[in-house]
């Protein structure tokens, strides 16, 4: 599985799952654009890890929910590097709360970043991919989009929405040899889970048949497969990376 000569863009690539994806794709030979919004130090650390793995990368700052910023930034990437071959829509935010108390702004901001952001970025890269007749768009969903989660109606709706977006885009772009897929992580070890008490972590593990939390590298491996030539006959699909927590079709 090599990505030599490919240009990849990973939104929200500065930490967590996005960082692991960025490092993995770079280690396979891609030049990776690490997108971030507010934390340049974290993006720099991702670049350092990319270089330590023998890869190449660059930082690109824009908010995926800002249509003008997305267009301009991706236009600049294509001007500088000639192409975006692989887009990983990983950027996401949470604004948790019960439905009865959720403010409109909390709904809108999550849908704008987590769902509309994937639409805007996909739309911005597809013309160049169509011209080249090769491309990979991989949307990072969540198990929450399939099973729901109290206090996360906005997040679950956005992540579920990515499934419909993925299937529809896959149908539209398949004729140009562009695949569009989802990867849906379950409970993954991140800064957030590190802050949970041991009892809460054990309760999470009890919901998972494999009995352990996943790692960002587990998710990155699934993305790497779909981005490579080995995944070329897979499109419109959701690959669940959750230790058996959800076994949907």
Question: Which tokens go with 123?
Answer: 């739309």
C-beta atoms surrounding 176 within 10 Å: 14
Report how far apart, in Å, the C-alpha atoms of 244 and of each of 143, 193, 241 are.
10, 19, 8
Per the CB < 8 A criterion, the answer to whether 91 and 97 are in contact is no
Q: Which of 155, 187, 233, 246 is catalytic?
A: 155
DSSP states along 26-53: HHTT-EEEEEESS-HHHHHHHHHHHHHT
Query: 187 an active-site residue?
Result: no
Residue 121: which H helix or E strand, with range? helix 117-132
C-beta atoms surrounding 205 within 10 Å: 15
Parallel, antiparallel, or unpaired for β 238-241 and 86-89?
Answer: unpaired
* Euclidean distance between CA atoms 68 and 222, whole angstroms: 31
C-beta atoms surrounding 44 within 10 Å: 14
C-beta atoms surrounding 244 within 10 Å: 12
Per the CB < 8 A criterion, the answer to whether 235 and 170 are in contact is yes
Positions marked active-site: 155
């Amino acid at each position: 599985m090599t990505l030599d000569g490919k240009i990849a863009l990973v939104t929200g690539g500065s930490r967590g799952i996005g960082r692991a994806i960025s490092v993995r794709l770079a280690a396979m030979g891609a030049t990776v654009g690490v997108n971030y919004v507010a934390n340049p130090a974290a993006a720099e650390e991702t670049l350092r890890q990319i270089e330590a793995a023998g890869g190449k990368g660059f930082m690109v700052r824009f908010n995926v929910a800002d249509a003008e910023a997305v267009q301009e930034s991706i236009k600049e990437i294509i001007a500088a590097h000639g192409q975006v071959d692989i887009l990983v829509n990983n950027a996401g935010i949470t604004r948790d709360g019960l439905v009865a108390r959720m403010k409109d702004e909390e709904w809108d901001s999550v849908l704008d970043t987590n769902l509309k952001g994937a639409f805007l970025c996909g739309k911005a890269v597809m013309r160049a991919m169509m011209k080249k007749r090769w491309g990979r768009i991989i949307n990072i969903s969540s198990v929450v989009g399939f099973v729901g989660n109290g206090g996360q109606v906005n997040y679950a709706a956005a992540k579920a929405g990515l499934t419909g977006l993925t299937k529809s885009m896959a149908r539209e772009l398949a004729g140009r040899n562009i695949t569009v897929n989802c990867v849906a992580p379950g409970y993954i070890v991140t800064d957030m889970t590190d802050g949970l008490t041991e009892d809460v972590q054990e309760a999470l593990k009890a919901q998972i048949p494999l009995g352990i939390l996943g790692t960002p590298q587990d998710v990155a491996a699934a993305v790497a497969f779909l981005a490579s030539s080995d995944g070329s006959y897979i499109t419109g699909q959701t690959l669940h990376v959750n230790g058996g927590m959800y076994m949907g079709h």
